[in-house]
Chain A
């Protein structure tokens, strides 16, 4: 008998008993959906964490950061200067691929000429227009301004008032930072220096400048964050730790602050191993539900076999082999579970995508961590394979019973 006929007749038989088939499918669907949703969210969390904090082991290289924390927050001492960069290059040249001072964008403090006076200002650099500030006079940056490096600046209301009396007066004046003169095109409402969480507020500064222009001369001379790049396969964490230790000992700035290497990779590994324990545990529970659903399939197939004894007899009489009969019932069982599995995969993927954002909120929407569910091809194959396997395992006994029925007993 040809395979396609087998499928046709199986689908026909399943359709003849729609309600029962539907209920059985639901059993499998719930089990698979639960597994896929849990795996999707679990993978999503792990992946998000790695993307955010990991050594970015993509494009064949890894990066780590060493931060310098000055004891006095207002001090003008930088943790890293060209001197340190050269120093590290000579000391660790073989192990570190590239050393650079991070182009910091938030809460820089520097000297600036505002109008006629030279004063110490705080500033943040923007790569794209922000809506976190409220303009009182003039206009906000446009995307184009920032992309083309227009020498425009936004000034805080408090600075504008201090220097020019009113916000309106400040428009059109100039500020000069690092020998670049910017024209003030907008004044925004002053924000607090710290956020409610106690972090530094990047908009609680005197000036907002375009990043492209500020770092026009791309090599940064000094900063508080050092970015190390390693080739893939290097033990980035260990080397970074050594570099931090070296800096603590040898850098002149070490007396006025601390160098710190936060080994995110290590924390992440712990985190992901914990995640996988949780995922395994919940998957185990889901497997139990699949097992129960499988028993449901078996139950239904047994009922089906005994209900269709006459049909089996007729088929055997007209020349079906016992193998034909077994295949027919097995195919029915597998079609049931596969349908359930595929629906469950869709349901589970949908559920994961629905739940992940809620989870992000629960973790803390302000932290900027957005968890996206990650439903992989592996998850699909898992759903497909598991449901097919459930169909085969729980279908084989009823199918064999059907195949081994005694023809004479049926026809009598």
Chain B
């Protein structure tokens, strides 16, 4: 489904040009549950942003379902994101002043869905993440675990092909982290949703089928290959 070839990414900072990602080659298939691990600053968030169509400024080729994403315009990226990806962030990224229902409805609105469809879909996904009846709550009055569930509900509301989760358990305690992980595993097993997450929590990583390790912008190991090997 996802094919990254020779991806390089640079950040310009003043006169300095940082080489963040070095020749990344990754293939991810439908239905996989992938963890990308690495130290902070290793470039794993940068990588996941590229995979999730958030970052269109990179070198190399990216084929998503055989479409050349690297050639797309900014507007096409928006549509691509809306139709194909769900995002879960470490700090939830919910609209704090809007109700849970409005938050979950947001991607559906931009997809041009009708209000009626939207509200039934919202109830459906809230039930799926165990927050049935929370429609009119405000996120700011909810616990971290609940907020992360809302954000997962938002991510899956448009039936995305895959989920991108950047440190989804980073702001949660161990117990809540496990609940969220169970939810992800459930989505992956029952719904067949492809999930790609970035984490530095070993407990989270070991529950994933496939672990990709990144150090200093290079993939140093990929458990799918059954062995650890350095690319350089």
Contact = CB atoms under 8 A, between A and B. Distances in A.
Contacts of A318: 81-82, 87, 106-107, 110, 154
Interface size class of B (residues with CB under 8 A): 20 to 34
A321 B95 contact: no
Interface in A292-328: 310-311, 313-324
Most buried by B among A16, A310, A316, A319: A319
Most buried by A among B57, B107, B114: B107
B93 A319 contact: no
Interface stretch (B72-80, B128-136, B180-188): B72-80
Contacts of A407: 54-55
Contacts of B107: 318-319
Given A408-B55, A411-B49, A324 B95 contact: no
B111 interface: yes
A310 B106 CA distance: 14
A360 B199 CA distance: 80
A2 interface: yes
15 contacts: A2-B109, A5-B115, A311-B95, A314-B95, A317-B54, A317-B93, A318-B82, A319-B79, A319-B81, A319-B107, A320-B82, A321-B79, A321-B110, A408-B57, A412-B45
Contact of A322 (B74, B97, B106, B114): B74
A12 interface: yes
Describe A's contact surface by its main secondary structure.
helix
B112 interface: yes
Nearest to A316: B78
Interface of B: 45, 49, 54-55, 57, 74-75, 78-79, 81-83, 87, 89, 93-95, 97-98, 106-107, 109-112, 114-115, 154, 158
Contacts of B45: 412
B55 to A, nearest CB: 5
Contacts of A323: 75
Interface residues of A, number: 23
Nearest to A319: B82
A1 interface: yes
Most buried by A among B49, B78, B106: B78
Nearest to B45: A412
A360 to B, nearest CB: 52
A408 B75 contact: no
Contacts of A319: 78-79, 81-83, 107, 110-111, 158
A322 B112 contact: no
B78 A320 contact: yes
Contacts of A5: 109, 115
B225 to A, nearest CB: 30
Contacts of A314: 93-95, 106
Nearest to A13: B97
B116 to A, nearest CB: 12
A408 B49 contact: yes
A199 B167 CA distance: 95
A150 B158 CA distance: 88
A16 B78 contact: no
Nearest to B55: A408
